[in-house]
C-alpha cells in the first residue's frame, strides 16, 4: 500500500470530518434545545453530551458507514448521514462508560465525563460524594447517547426493507460491543494477564466487528447491497479491526502522550489485557512474570516499575510479535479487499485507510 494512497485517504477523511461534524453539531444542538424546553436544568446535562460528541475525533466509524453505503451502491449522502451519526453516538456511549470502568482521567486530551462532572459537583457546592456524582452523571450521559443513537437510526429516510436491514445490523452491533466490553472487564480482573486466545475474542468483538465490519455493514444495509458486499466487508473488516486495536495497544504503551491524548502508562495501571501483555507474560521468565503480576493493574505503580514492564514487553519479543501480527492481519485484509466486488476507487480508499491507520502516531 503506497504512501500516496494513504495521503488520499487522509484527505477524504478530513473532508468527511468537516461535513459530518457540522451535521452532528446541528443534531445535538437541536436535542439540547428540546431537553432545555422540558426543563431548564437539563441544559447543562445536555451540554455534557454535546461536549463528548463534538470533541475532536477521527470519525472512523461514521466514515465507514458512508463508505459502505456508497461502495454498496448508495447515492444520496443525506439518506445515510443519520446512520453514520448513530455509529458515532454509540461510540460516545461506549467511551463514557468505558472511562468509568477504566477509571480514566483523560479522553481525547480533555477530562473524562466522570471527572468533568465530579468537578461540576464541587463548583456548584452540592452535597454528597463528588466522585460518585461524577460517575452517575457520566453513566447517564452514556445512556442518553445510546438513546439518541436509536433516535438517529429511526430517523433515516430509507424504505422499509432497507430500514429493517439497517436495524438488524444495528441490533447486532450494539450487543456485540457490550458483550466484548464485558469480556474485557473480566480479562482485566484476572489475577494474571489473560491468555492469548481470550485476547482474540475481545479483539474480534470490541474492534474487528465494532470498529470496521459493522459500520461497513450498516452502510451496505442502507444501500440495499447484496450478500457479496457484506461478505467482502466481513473478510476485510475483521482482520483490519484486530490490527487497529493491536496498534492502539502498542501506542498505549509506547506512544507519545501528546499525540494519543491519554497517559501512556494507563493501560498498565488499569490492568488492561492486551496482546502485548499476554504475550510478554506467556514468554517471560519467572522473575518477569512476578513483576508483571505485581505492576499490571496497580494504579500506584511507580514510573520505574512501569518502565520495567515496557522493557519486558520489548525484551521478550512481545512488542515485535504484536507488530508482526498487525502487519499479517493488514495483509489478510488487503487480500480480501482486492477480491471484493466493489468499485476500484473504494478499494483504493479502504486500502489507503489501512495504511494510514497503521502508520499513525495517535
CA–CA distance, 6 with 70 (Å, rounded to integer): 19
- DSSP class of residue 195 equals P
CATH of the domain at 33: 1.10.600.10
- CB atoms closer than 10 angstroms to residue 197: 8
pLDDT at 263: 74
**pLDDT at residue 7 greater than cutoff 80:** no
- pLDDT at res. 1: 39
338 CB neighbour count, 10 Å cutoff: 10
Tell me the pLDDT tens digit for each residue of 126-162: 999 999 999 999 999 999 999 999 999 999 999 999 9
Kindly indicate the confidence band of residue 206, based on its pLDDT and cuts at 50, 70 and 90: confident
Take residue 64 and report the three cell numbers written for it: 465507514
To the nearest 10 degrees (0 to 180), the angle between helices 344-358 and 3-38 is 80
Q: List the beta bridge partners of residue 227.
A: none
Which residue do the cell numbers 447517564 mark? 140
Residue-wise pLDDT tens digits, 77-125: 789 999 999 999 999 999 999 999 988 888 877 899 999 999 999 999 9
4-23 average pLDDT score: 86
Q: Which letter does DSSP use for residue 341 in this model?
A: S
Which candidate, 262, 259, 254, 248, places its Cα nearest to that of 106? 262
Domain residues for the domain of 351 are: 3-358
Cβ atoms < 10 Å from Cβ of 208 = 27
pLDDT value at 309 more than 70 = yes
3-state secondary structure of 110: strand
Task: Give the mean pLDDT of 205-214.
Answer: 90
How much is the pTM? 0.91
Q: How many structural domains is the chain composed of?
A: 1
Segment 213-236 shows an average pLDDT of 96
Q: How confident is the model at residue 260 (pLDDT cuts 50, 70, 90)?
A: low
Query: What's the angle, vertex CA 138, arms to CA 133 and CA 140, rounded to 5?
Result: 100
> ∠ CA 52-140-150 to the nearest 5 degrees?
75
Cell 480514566 sits at which residue?
Answer: 104
Amino acid at each position: 500500500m503506497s504512501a500516496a494512497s494513504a495521503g488520499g485517504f487522509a484527505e477524504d477523511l478530513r473532508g468527511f470530518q468537516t461535513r459530518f461534524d457540522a451535521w452532528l453539531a446541528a443534531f445535538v444542538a437541536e436535542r439540547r434545545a428540546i431537553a432545555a424546553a422540558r426543563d431548564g436544568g437539563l441544559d447543562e446535562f445536555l451540554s455534557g453530551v454535546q461536549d463528548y460528541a463534538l470533541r475532536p475525533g477521527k470519525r472512523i466509524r461514521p466514515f465507514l458507514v458512508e463508505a459502505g453505503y456508497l461502495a454498496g451502491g448508495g447515492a444520496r449522502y443525506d439518506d445515510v448521514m443519520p446512520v453514520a451519526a448513530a455509529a458515532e453516538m454509540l461510540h460516545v456511549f461506549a467511551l463514557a462508560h468505558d472511562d468509568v470502568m477504566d477509571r480514566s482521567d483523560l479522553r481525547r486530551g480533555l477530562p473524562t465525563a466522570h471527572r468533568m462532572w465530579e468537578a461540576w459537583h464541587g463548583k456548584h457546592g452540592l452535597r454528597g460524594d463528588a466522585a460518585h456524582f461524577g460517575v452517575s452523571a457520566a453513566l447517564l450521559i452514556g445512556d442518553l447517547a445510546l438513546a439518541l443513537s436509536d433516535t438517529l437510526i429511526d430517523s433515516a429516510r430509507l424504505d422499509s426493507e432497507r430500514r429493517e436491514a439497517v436495524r438488524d445490523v444495528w441490533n447486532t452491533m450494539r450487543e456485540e460491543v457490550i458483550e466484548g466490553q464485558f469480556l474485557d472487564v473480566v480479562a482485566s480482573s484476572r489475577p494474571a494477564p489473560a491468555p492469548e486466545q481470550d485476547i482474540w475474542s475481545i479483539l474480534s468483538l470490541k474492534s474487528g466487528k465494532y470498529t470496521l465490519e459493522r459500520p461497513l455493514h450498516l452502510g451496505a444495509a442502507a444501500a440495499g447491497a447484496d450478500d457479496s458486499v457484506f461478505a467482502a466487508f466481513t473478510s476485510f473488516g475483521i482482520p483490519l479491526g484486530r490490527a487497529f486495536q493491536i496498534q492502539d495497544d502498542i501506542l498505549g504503551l509506547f506512544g507519545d502522550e501528546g499525540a494519543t491524548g491519554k497517559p501512556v502508562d494507563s493501560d498498565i495501571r488499569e490492568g488492561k489485557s492486551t496482546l502485548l501483555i499476554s504475550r510478554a507474560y506467556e514468554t517471560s521468565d519467572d522473575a518477569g512474570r512476578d513483576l508483571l503480576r505485581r505492576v499490571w493493574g496497580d494504579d500506584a505503580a511507580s514510573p520505574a516499575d512501569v518502565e520495567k514492564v515496557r522493557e519486558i514487553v520489548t525484551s521478550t519479543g512481545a512488542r515485535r510479535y504484536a507488530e508482526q501480527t498487525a502487519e499479517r492481519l493488514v495483509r489478510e485484509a488487503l487480500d480480501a479487499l482486492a477480491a471484493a466486488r466493489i468499485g476500484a476507487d473504494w478499494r483504493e480508499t479502504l486500502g489507503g485507510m489501512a495504511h494510514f491507520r497503521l502508520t499513525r502516531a495517535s
